[in-house]
Amino acid sequence: MEDDEAEPVAFVGTARLTDGARAVAAQIVGTLKFELGVYRERRSPTSAFDYLRGLAEAAGVFVLLIGDLGHHTTALDTEEFRGFAIADRIAPFVIINNNDARPAWSFTLLHELAHIFLGITAVSGALMEARIEQFCNEVAGQILMPDADLANLAFDWQVPIQVAASEVSRLAGALNLSRTMVALRLHRAGIIAADQWTGLRQIFRDQWLQNRERERTARQEQEGGPNYYVIRRQRLGHALIDFVNRMVSAGALTPVKAGKVLGVKPRNVEPLLRRAA
């Protein structure tokens, strides 16, 4: 790596659990220059994620979408893996399971960014790990659905579960958020009870699985599909592709090594980089 590529990312490991979730959320918002209004104005949750991802990459974090171990037959279950952070001072990474629902990607990205700000890649010990995960959830929730949103809710949640599910869906759609994330935020704020949260989570998961199966069937019935390079660029992100492009142009990476970094065959490196330029 060239000297000018080895600058440490200043915010890695600068936050502490003792700072509190609100303070860490504010730190992330300030560092990324994240604007909630801009996020919510985006036309879809995917577009909103692209906005957030662009800010994270501009701040020095590589954000990848990875849903398998190299082949679709090795797809990663979202119950086991939603995201992972590598809190490296030089090259921090966030990996998001793209098998998850797209509206959930932004929450996962912010959750993993909280890990990076805390400087935590992995935690040993179940009790501490659970505390860290809960804290990072709180940080992400504070950013995407701050306390002011909760204070403005005028809905009576003492209703049948399906009615509550409809209201959560409405809120999530208006805010470019995952329905499960909204329900979790309501539960953590004490607005809905634990049994409501559990019921809503199950309803949303069942609906998501049904929708995913319908979309899979529809894709199989359609001819063609997204271009290979379009898919690869979306999964790898602009920051990593741009970095590899610079390294290849400078002669610091061979096509073989670049292919290993990008997860493609050497012959696909040049077309991938060219189409991204």
Predicted confidence at residue 1, as pLDDT, reads 46
Domain co-membership, 142 together with 235: no
3-class SS of residue 30: helix
**Whose CA is closest to 165, among 147, 186, 144, 145?**
186
**Nearest-angstrom CA–CA distance, 141 and 134:** 10
Show which of 103, 121, 147 is a domain's final residue. Answer: 147
d(CA 68, CA 11): 30
- What local confidence, expressed as pLDDT, does residue 270 receive? 84
| Higher pLDDT pick, 235 / 173 | 173
Strands 93-96, 62-65: pairing kind = parallel
In a shared domain, residues 136 and 256: no
What tens digit of pLDDT does each residue of 52-97 get? Answer: 999 999 999 999 998 765 555 556 666 667 888 999 999 999 999 8
Under a CB-based contact definition with an 8 Å cutoff, are residues 133 and 107 in contact?
no
Among the candidates 147, 163, 180, a domain finishes at 147
Residues 120 and 246 in one domain: no
Asked if residue 123 and residue 260 are part of one domain, the reply reads no
Please check the confidence at residue 3 and state whether its pLDDT lies above 50. no
Q: What distance in Å separates the CA atoms of residue 56 and residue 47, rounded to the nearest whole number?
A: 14
Residue 191 falls inside a structural domain? no
- The DSSP string of 117-165 is HHT-S---SHHHHHHHHHHHHHHHHHHHS-HHHHHT------S-HHHHH
Q: Kindly state whether residue 23 falls inside one of the protein's structural domains.
A: yes
Residue 141 and residue 252 in one domain: no
Number of domains in the chain: 2
The answer on 142 and 51 residing in a single domain is yes
- Residue 218 included in any domain: no
- On whether both 20 and 129 belong to a single domain, the answer is yes
Residues 135 and 249 in one domain: no
Assigned domain for 214 exists: no
Q: What gap in Å lies between CA 239 and CA 216, rounded to an integer?
A: 29
- The residue-averaged pLDDT of 146-172 equals 94
- Say yes or no: 139 and 256 in one domain: no
Model pLDDT, residue 150: 93
- Domain holding 88, by residue range, is 1-147
- 17 lies in the same domain as 135: yes
Of 103, 124, 147, the position where a domain reaches its end is 147
Residues 259, 58, 144: CA angle, nearest 5 degrees = 115
Q: Are residues 24 and 139 in the same domain?
A: yes
109 shares a domain with 19: yes
Asked whether residue 212 is assigned to any structural domain, the reply reads no
Q: Select the highest-mean-pLDDT range: 80-94, 122-136, 171-185.
A: 171-185
